[in-house]
Amino acid sequence: MNNPRKTPDASSTDHGVLIQVKNTQKETVNDFLKTAMEKGVFDAVLISMRVPAGDSFAYVLLTNKELLKDAFPLPPVMPVQGAKAISSITRRGKGNKKIAAILRPCEIRATVELAKLGQVNLENIILISMDCFGVMPTPIFIKDPEKSFKKFEDAIREDDDTVMRPVCQICDKSSMVAGDLHMGTRGVQKDSFFIVPHTKKGKDILDKLGLQANKNIDTWRAKINKNAKEKQKKRKQVHTDLQSSIEKLDKFLDIFSHCINCHNCMRVCPICSCRVCYFDSDKMKHPSDDYLRIAESKGSIRFLPDTSIFHMGRMVHMSLSCVSCGACEDACPMSIPVAQLFSMTADETQGLFGYIAGESLDEPLPLTTYRKEELSEVDDVHD
Amino acid sequence: MTKVLTVNHSVEQGIREFLKFLLDTGKIKGVFTLKKLNKKGDVAYSLITRSDELTDAVPFFPLMPVNAGKLISRFTMNGPPSEPVAVVLKPCELRAFIELVKLEQGSLENMVFISATCGGVFPLNMVHEGTIEKNLSPYWTAIKKEEIPENIRPVCKACTEFIPYNADLVLNLVGNKNLDSQCDIVIETKKGEEITTDTDIKKKYSQKEYKKENLDTFKERREAEKKKIIEDIDTKLTGMDGLIEIFGKCIGCHGCSKACPICYCKLCEFESSDSEYGPSNYEAELKRRGAVRVPPNTLYYHLGRLSHIAISCVGCGSCEDACPVDIPVSIIFKKIGESIQNMFEYTPGKSIEEKIPLTTFKEKELTEIEE
C-alpha cells in the first residue's frame, strides 16, 4: 500500500456550534433548516418525508418551509440513495436555487463520487450530514411500518444496530464528514448537538446565520472514533467470515444461484450511473447457435448465461467508488447478500489504492490517475 | 382426432425420458427447461444439449425464476437455431413469447414448445425463505384434485388461462390422478406430430387416440378466486389518491419492467434523458406546488408502463416477484390488462395470426368512447 489510509473521521476543524435541542432533535434540526430558509441562506431543502400511505419514506425537494415540520432528517429506511436524488436534481446542471440536502454520510460520500464522475453539480448544493445509526432493510420495514418505526426509535435510543441493514451493522464511517456541514449527535448531551463545518461553504453558511463554531467537539470526536474502531473490528471479522464462505468458485456461484437477472441492484446503486448497462446492451445478446455451442461445451448452461458475470462485471466497474450503503441488497427480491459482498471487495480494491470512496472531492478517482510507484505488488508477479 | 403418446413413468420421469430420447436420437439439438443448479436444489432455466444433464431437470417445478418467454426471445432474436430446440414452459410464458414474436422480438422457427395445464407457481420469496420443499407435496395433491394449491402467487390463483395455447405437445397436470404412474404427452400440432412420427418413437411408446379432459371445476374455482382478488384491488384503486397510496413506497428500481417479458425496450422511456427533470422542470414544480418528490414521476412510470404493455400483459406475475417492496403490481396489471384486452376481444398469446390491436384499425371499434 503506497498511500496510508486516512482516518475516516478526518475533518478540517476541531470546533463546532453547540445547538440546544428544543422538544426533539428532529424538530430542532427542522427548525434550523426553516430559519436558514427564512434568512435566505438556502432557497430549498432536500429531505426525507413520509409517503401519503405512511408505509415508507421518500426524498422531497421543498420550498414551502411549512412542510419542514413533517420532515424526517433521519428516516428509518433508505428507499432511494440520496446521491441518486442529488443526481436527479443536478445532473443537467445547476439550478437557480440554493439547495440544502440533509443526507446520511454514505449518501454524501456517494454524491462526492458522482461529482467526480460528472453526474452531479454541487455548485448550488449544500451537503449536510448527520451521525447515522443505520437504516432498517426496507423490505422488512414495510411489512409493519408502525411497529418497525418504533423498533427503529428504540434501537437508536439504545444504540443497538441489530435491526439495521447488515452493512449498516459493519459501517465504520457512520459519522464521516464529507459534506459542507455535519450534525454530530453521538456522545453529546441529550439536549444538544454539534454542527461542525467541514468546508468553506459550510463555514459561510454558519457565518450568515450568525452562528460561531467556537465549542470544542472533543467529546463527540472521542465517541465517534471509539464507535468507528469497534465497527472496523466487526467489519473485518464479518468480511473474513464471508470470504471463507465463498473461497471456492462453486460457493461463489451458489451465492448468486437465486439471482433472477432483474438488475435491481444495479439500478438502485448510486454509483452505477450508466444510462444503459453494458450487461443490458446488445453486446450480451448472441445468435441461438452460439448459445447452443456454449451449452455443448459443458452439456448444459444456465440461461441467461451471464448471471455471475454481471455481478463480477459490476463489481469491477464500481467497487472503487462503492460506499457500502446497502441500497443494492435492499432492492434484491431474492435476498442475496450483495451489499455485504460488495463492501468486502470494495475495502480490498480501495485499500489497494489507499482510497476511501467519497472522503474528499479533491482526491481523484484512482483509475483516472497514474502513479509510477503504485500497484508494485502486481508487478512482482511478473518479475 | 388428437393423439397421445404414453410413457410408463411418472409425469416428471416420463418427460425427462422423452426429452432424453429426442436429444439422443438427434431430433432436437437442445432442451430449455428448469433444472436443479446445485446440491442446495436451487432451480433455474437451463439450456441442455447432453442428455445425462437431464437427470437434474425439473420441467414442471412450480416456480418461475424468470418468465421463459423472455429467455426464448433472447435466445432466438438474433437468429433462430439451425436445428430444432425444445422448450418446456408454462402457458403464460408461451403466451408471452407469442406476443414477443408479434413484436418482432423472437422467432418460432425450429422451436418446439412443450407445455402443460398449469396449477400455478410459488412466489420467488419462498426460495430464500426455504419454504418451497415442504409445500411441494400439498401442491401436487391439490393439483390432482383440481384444487387451487395453497401459497401459490395471488396472480396464479386468479389465472383462468391455465390451458396452453400454441404448444406442440401438452401434458395434463391439473386434475390428473395418474401423475405418479403415467406420462401422457398430447400431440397438438403438426410440428408435434413431425417430431413424434418416427418408427423409433412408435416402437418405444404406445400411441392412442385422445379425448380432451374437462377442467370446468378448476376453471370455476379460478374464476371465483379471480373475482375475489379483483374486487379486493378495486377497493384500493380509487382514483389518484388510491394509486398514490399503492405506489407511494415504490423505490424506483424498475425491477417490474426488467422482469416483464413484454417490456422489451432496450432503453425504457422512463430511464431515458427525455424523462429526466432539468433544473427548470424542478423549479417549475416547486413554484406550482412548493414541493416535489425526488426522483420524480414515480406514479407516471407505472401508468406509462401500464399503457405501453397492458394489451399484451399475460398476467404472469414476474413483475410482482421482482418487486422488493411488495406492491401488488401484477394484480393491478392483470385487472387493467384484461379490461383493455376485453375491449378489443383480444387474448394475448392466444393466436400468432391475430394482430396486436394497437397495430390495426377497425372502423367500427371503440365507438363507446366516441359517444
pLDDT tens digits along B275-323: 999 999 999 999 999 999 999 999 999 999 999 999 999 999 999 999 9
The one-letter amino acid code at B133 reads E
pLDDT at residue B304 in the model? 97
> A135: Cβ–Cβ under 8 A, 6 or more apart, which residues?
A75, A76, A77, A78, A104, A164, A165, A168, A326
Question: Which residue from B128, B248, B255 is spatially nearest to A142, judged by alpha carbons?
Answer: B248
CA distances from B293 to A48, B91, B298 (A): 9, 40, 8
Contact A60 B78 (CB under 8 A): no
pLDDT at residue B62 in the model? 98
User: pLDDT tier at B371 (50, 70, 90 boundaries)?
Assistant: low
pLDDT at residue B139 in the model? 98
pLDDT at residue B233 in the model? 95
> A282: Cβ–Cβ under 8 A, 6 or more apart, which residues?
B266
Average pLDDT of every residue of chain B: 94
Contact B255 A288 (CB under 8 A): no
C-alpha cell, B347 = 387474448
Q: Which residues of A touch B254 (CB under 8 A)?
A: 264, 267
Report B:129-188 residues touching A (Cβ under 8 A).
none
* ∠ Cα B67 B69 B71 (to 5°): 80
Residue A364 contacts B where some CB pair is shorter than 8 Å: no
Q: What are the φ and ψ backbone dihedral angles of B103, each rounded to 5 degrees?
A: -90, 10
Encode chain B in three state secondary structure.
CCEEEEECCCHHHHHHHHHHHHHHCCCCCEEEEEEECCCCCCEEEEEECCHHHHHHECCCCCCCCCCHHHHHHHHHCCCCCCCCEEEECCHHHHHHHHHHHHCCCCCCCCEEEEEECCCCCCCCHHHHHCCHHHHHHHHHHHHHCCCCCCCCCHHHHCCCCCCCCCCCEEECCCCCCCCCCCEEEEECCHHHHHHHCCHHHHHHCEEEECCCCCCHHHHHHHHHHHHHHHHHHHHHCCHHHHHHHHHCCCCCCCHHHHHCCCCCCCCCHHHCHHHCCCHHHHHHHHHHHCEEEECCCHHHHHHHHHHHHHHHCCCCCHHHHHCCCCCCHHHHHHHHHHHHHHHCCCCCCCCCCCCCHHHCCCCCCCHHHHC
CB B321 within 8 A of CB A261: no
Domain ranges of chain A: 15-235, 239-382
Contact A268 B251 (CB under 8 A): yes
Q: Which residues pair with A125 in a beta bridge?
A: A99
Element (H or E) spanning B265, and its range?
Answer: none
Identify which has the larger pLDDT, B213 or B102: B102
Mean pLDDT of B332-353: 96
Q: Which residues pair with A128 in a beta bridge?
A: A102, A181
Contact B258 A291 (CB under 8 A): no
The Cα A8–Cα A365 span in angstroms is: 17
The Cα A130–Cα B219 span in angstroms is: 57
Interface contacts (A, B; CB < 8 Å): 226
CB B260 within 8 A of CB B64: no
pLDDT at residue B197 in the model? 82
The Cα A142–Cα A136 span in angstroms is: 10
The Cα A312–Cα A306 span in angstroms is: 10
A279: left (phi over 0), alpha (psi -120 to 50) or beta: alpha
pTM of this structure: 0.94
pLDDT at residue A7 in the model? 41
A258, A261, A291: residue with CB nearest B128:
A258
Q: Which residues of A touch B42 (CB under 8 A)?
A: 254, 257-258
pLDDT at residue B257 in the model? 97
The Cα A71–Cα A69 span in angstroms is: 6
Asked whether the predicted pLDDT for residue B198 surpasses 90, the reply is no
Report B:251-280 residues touching A (Cβ under 8 A).
251-255, 258-259, 266-267, 271-273, 276-280
- For residue A34, give how far its alpha carbon lies from the nearest alpha carbon of chain B (Å): 14
Residue A4 contacts B where some CB pair is shorter than 8 Å: no
The Cα A289–Cα A293 span in angstroms is: 6
Task: State the alpha helices, DSSP H only, in chain A.
Answer: 25-38, 82-90, 105-116, 138-141, 145-157, 166-169, 200-208, 218-245, 249-255, 264-268, 288-298, 307-318, 327-331, 338-352, 376-382
Contact A58 B293 (CB under 8 A): yes
C-alpha cell, A199 = 468546508
Contact A268 B280 (CB under 8 A): no
Report B:284-343 residues touching A (Cβ under 8 A).
286-287, 290-296, 298, 321-326
Q: Where are the beta strands (DSSP E) in chain B?
A: 3-7, 30-36, 43-48, 85-88, 111-116, 169-171, 183-187, 206-209, 291-294
Residue B29 contacts A where some CB pair is shorter than 8 Å: yes
The Cα B54–Cα A343 span in angstroms is: 38
B49, B241, B294: residue with CB nearest A60:
B294
Question: Which residue from A84, A152, A147, A96 is spatially nearest to A331, judged by alpha carbons?
Answer: A84
**Residue tagged 468507528 (cell numbers):** A228
Asked whether the predicted pLDDT for residue B22 surpasses 80, the reply is yes
B46, B282, B298: residue with CB nearest A303:
B46
Question: Which residue from A266, A282, A304, A281 is spatially nearest to B67, judged by alpha carbons?
Answer: A304
The residues of chain A scoring below 70 in pLDDT are 1-13, 380-383
Question: Which residue from A367, A356, A365 is spatially nearest to A177, judged by alpha carbons?
Answer: A356
Q: What are the φ and ψ backbone dihedral angles of B46, each rounded to 5 degrees?
A: -135, 155
Q: Which residue of A has its CA nearest to B269?
A: A275
